[in-house]
Amino acid sequence: MKNKVKKTIYFSKNRINLPPGWSFWKINKIGPFITRVILKNPEEKLIYWESREARKHHFTLDKSSGSTWWAPGAIGWWIGILFAIGALFFGLGSFPPYHSLVGNFYNCLTFFIGSLFFTSAAFLQYLETINSPHQPPGQKFKENFHLLSLEPRRIDWWSSVVQLIGTLFFNMNTLESMHESLSMSQIDHMVWYPDIFGPICFLIASGLVWIEVGHSLLSWNPHSISWRIAFLNLLGSMAFGLSAISAYVMPATGLPKNEFLVASGTFIGAVCFFIAAILLLPERTHENEMVT
């Protein structure tokens, strides 16, 4: 006989469907968001529910679990692979010898292709987030698949939405940068503005994930794979932001404000995002202890 949900508890920014006999023991909030909950099951055991854990280990959208490094049937595996490929393209495009070898157009095309991988990964990440279970760990209540969902009371919903928007800005910026006959005004509005808004979105999204994983504004837990991923993404977003600021074209010279920081900031950001993307693979298969 299938389990039936007795009641639905709505709390601040997340929702959990509690089966009969379950109760809340403790709720951890960061500002308006809830990142961790301790539940008590009918056997009086404490069950830990965490926002990131809930979406990274539910496997609702997986056709097969696969292994850590090869799992084409798992959405989490594709998210890591696509982010890693996008980061590789950004790293390649910011490598000065490559630019000298292929020229400006193909260098910009490299960035554009990389941004498409970023957007694909970000969209899958959004699907993963909105289809994460609204139930305690270990429960198997059937939940409907969602292609779109409005859940502004969830910190992970905001981080995935803002990052997806940021990748769209990167799409715009890198696409327009391939046009070589733009005026100074067009460069500002069509290239530089999206170039600024993209890293801003990435920085906001990374900051939200940092808070979600660390359960506070300040945290230090390098033994946690999730914490290392959040830390690297935050550093990468800062580096992308520094690159974008330095890319402002000076009207007097027609050149970026600081070409060295443009290239180095993008390269450092790409390296950080690449390592973080690769770490998503073992994070997916790493089992956290959820019961005490």
What is the tens place of the pLDDT at every residue in 72-114?
999 999 999 999 999 999 999 999 899 889 988 898 899 999 9
Which residues 6+ apart lie within 8 Å of 148 measured at CB?
Answer: 130
pLDDT band with cut points at 50, 70 and 90 for residue 190: very low
Token pair, residue 103, equals 């020229």
pLDDT of 256 higher than 80? no
Q: Given pLDDT bands bounded at 50, 70 and 90, which one contains residue 141?
A: low
Q: The pTM is what?
A: 0.85
The residue-averaged pLDDT of 216-239 equals 95
Residue 19 has pLDDT above 80, yes or no: no
The pair of structure tokens assigned to 278 is: 């690769």
The span from the CA of 133 to the CA of 62, in Å, is 13
Three-state DSSP state, 272: helix
The residue type of 225 is I
Q: What phi-psi label fits residue 103: left (phi over 0), alpha (psi between -120 and 50 degrees) or beta?
A: left
- CA proximity to 274, closest of 233, 242, 225: 233
Percent of the chain with pLDDT over 70: 82
pLDDT band for position 253 (cuts 50, 70, 90): low
Of 42 and 11, more confident: 42
Give the range among 25-29, 216-220, 224-228 with minimum mean pLDDT: 25-29
Higher pLDDT, 21 or 193: 21
Better-predicted residue by pLDDT, 176 or 162: 162
Flag whether pLDDT at 126 surpasses 60: yes
pLDDT of residue 83: 98
Distance, CA of 177 to CA of 257 (rounded, Å)? 16
The least confident of 123-127, 156-160, 253-257, 280-284 is 253-257
Helix residue ranges, H only, 177-258: 184-186, 193-214, 225-246
